[in-house]
Amino acid sequence: MVDLFKEKARGWDQDDFKTRLSRAISTTMLDQLAFNADMHVMDFGAGTGLISGHLAPRVAHITAVDVSRAMLDRLAAKPELKHQVETLCQDIMEKPLTTQFDVIVSAMAMHHVEDTDRMLKTFAAHLKEGGQIALADLDKEDGSFHSVGTQGVFHQGFERAALQKRLEQQGFTDVRFVTAETVTRANKTFPIFLVLGRKGFKA
């Protein structure tokens, strides 16, 4: 598999836009979900660990999953995350893990996954009963968020109602959305949602 983020990984953490967006999403996750020191969390599409870095002080352990080895190498090199965050370069839809998690988080990764339903089914399979999701991505947009020709983008955001229906079809309950951030680019605004839900029983 070609690593589409190999070159981008070098300057990822120096990009002010990415660090500010990650901070906003992480803050919203921490506000909306009761993380605790016993939790094992999966960070799906973890990249260089910008989300993991904010969540790590609140939880027991994070498994950072990504298909970009270059991005995960940047994460693994951060000394402050060395003992709490493990990296795993693997397509968990093709090769599932045997571990089940308390929470699965993701930030701006879902639009890079072609088969959304399979992804959500995979999330459900990797959660403990009653486990929770906190997934951030773009509201449906006109395709102008990314530069023309950007590789690996399969969705121009997501409609909230349609995504909620898909989540419920995979057994998620208590599904709700909040707006984590609103990005402005070229005089256009792009809301970033955070969708939360629980596997199985209602709270």
Please tell me the distance from the alpha carbon of residue 37 to that of residue 60, in angstroms, as a whole number: 5
CB atoms near residue 21 (< 10 Å): 19
Q: How far is CA 201 from CA 55, 124, 131, 172, 175, in A?
A: 25, 13, 10, 8, 12
Burial 74-104 (b: 16+ CB within 10 A, else e): bbbeeeebeeebebbbeebbeeeeeeebbbb
- Would you write out the chain's pLDDT as a tens digit for each of its 203 residues? 555 555 565 655 667 888 999 999 999 999 999 999 999 999 999 999 999 999 999 999 999 999 999 999 999 999 999 889 999 999 999 999 999 999 999 999 999 999 999 999 999 999 999 999 999 999 999 988 877 777 778 999 999 999 999 999 999 999 999 999 999 988 899 999 999 999 986 65
Q: What is the pLDDT of residue 8?
A: 66
Q: Amino acid identity, residue 78? A: K
Q: What is the pLDDT of residue 202?
A: 66
Choose among 128, 131, 137: nearest CA to 162.
137
Q: What is the pLDDT of residue 14?
A: 62
Q: What is the pLDDT of residue 16?
A: 83
Q: What is the pLDDT of residue 102?
A: 98
Give the residue extent of every domain in the chain: 8-181
Tokens of 154: 């399969």
Please tell me the distance from the alpha carbon of residue 99 to that of residue 41, in angstroms, as a whole number: 11
Q: What is the pLDDT of residue 80?
A: 92
Q: What is the pLDDT of residue 152?
A: 79
Q: What is the 3-state secondary structure (H, E, C) of the chain?
A: CCCCCCCHHHHHHHCHHHHHHHHHHHHHHHHHCCCCCCCEEEEECCCCCHHHHHHHHHCCEEEEEECCHHHHHHHHCCHHHCCCEEEEECCCCCCCCCCCEEEEEEECCHHHCCCHHHHHHHHHHCEEEEEEEEEEEEECCCCCCCCCCCCCCCCCCECHHHHHHHHHHCCEEEEEEEEEEEEEECCEEEEEEEEEEEECCCC
Has domain 8-181 been given CATH number 3.90.1150.10?
A: no
Instruction: Please tell me the pTM assigned to this model.
Output: 0.92
